[in-house]
Structure 1
Amino acid sequence: MSIRDKVKQYGWENSLKLFLKGILRIVRIEFESYWLLENNLCSDEISQKMKDFDYSDVKELNLEDFKKGDPTIFNEVKLKLIEERFESGQYWSYGVFSGSELIYSCWITTLEIGFRKKYNTSIPLLEDEGYLEDAYTHPDYRGKGLHSKMNLFRIMSLIKKGKSRNYVLVLSENNPAMKSQLKSGFVKVEKMTFLILFGKHFFLKKHINDTNKN
């Protein structure tokens, strides 16, 4: 992601925080915080919210669709991960095209809440739980409501699969994504922080009641 795109998505203050984190990585200090959010809305409530959007352009994606995406985003490593997800039978992806160009993609899963591989951590999902994962919007189409639209679509997709509790992770600096998730009916549950200090890994969790909700 370019500096311009990062500032556009996160704002100047949070972009500076991300820049400082990059500097700390040089001296082997890494930390990342995420909010875990939960959504328990029923199908009637989601259906009502979905009336504000047109879903005629939404497509369930396959591997070939991702090969038509931006090669700088959907590179060989990413496409391998995508292929593994489809093969698992517990991941589903949906997207929107503009002409032949994939401008938005997102995932749902019934397997686990996953984090970056370097954190070596995941949270298995229970039978009635689902997870919204890995949404991507082409920079030229950000701020047009695609994420809010597809959040609701994914929640409804999980409800149709029998899931009554659905989760999503949001990077603590990603204010636009947080606003979109809260608008979709998600509420904050826990703040999770990963710390790598000179090669040693630490995983910290704070329940919402233990925080100031910021």
Structure 2
Amino acid sequence: MATFLYARVSTTEQTLAHQQSQAEKAGFSFDHVIADQGVSGVVVPMRERPEGRRLFDMLRAGDVLVVRWVDRLGRNYADVTDTIKEFIRRGVVIRTVINNMTFDGSTTDPMQMAVRDALIAFMAATAQAQAEATKEAQRAGIAYAKANTETYKGRKPSYTRTQLQTVLELDGKAQSVSDIARACGLSRQTVYRIKQDPAAAAKALAMWEDA
């Protein structure tokens, strides 16, 4: 049996060191630390993250998975609930640092199982609702900035013109997101954003190039 810490670092304000330190202060120790860097919990499902896939491969019955909170597993209701239930079916114990909660398959009582599953669903829904509220606040802030300044350009793109063109060329050749990210030196999240709206990606780059 082994204890794993899974961390997801999706912004520059978050760090793996902080999540690990917070868990250690709560009394946890780990045999393995698994972390996905720069990955959106809304856009990228757990199984499609590089380290998320690795975690699925490594976890065995009796292992303990520690996360700061369920939002580190993801911010999509269906993805989070499916992930937790799959781990429970495997015999994995999931523990959260915040609120010190435990989810496992130890009970066979239907009422206790119903309460457990309802709590998992509530926490997953809360994670998605928080993400949506944050996005809405960001949209409102951007709309205000656009209305009050002629020089608003948004966040500077993390890719160059050459990288943008390479992403589109490789995507046209049906290359996987992981392969494209490695070839261009970009994060998977950036590649996903470019693929989802190439026109917007090009426009954002042009605004900064013209500045």
- Which has the bigger relative contact order, CA under 8 A and spacing at least 6? 1
Q: Which category of TM-score, normalised to the shorter sequence, fits these structures? A: under 0.3
Greater share of helix = 2
Rg: which structure is higher? 2
Greater share of strand = 1
Q: So what's the TM-score if we normalise by structure 2?
A: 0.27
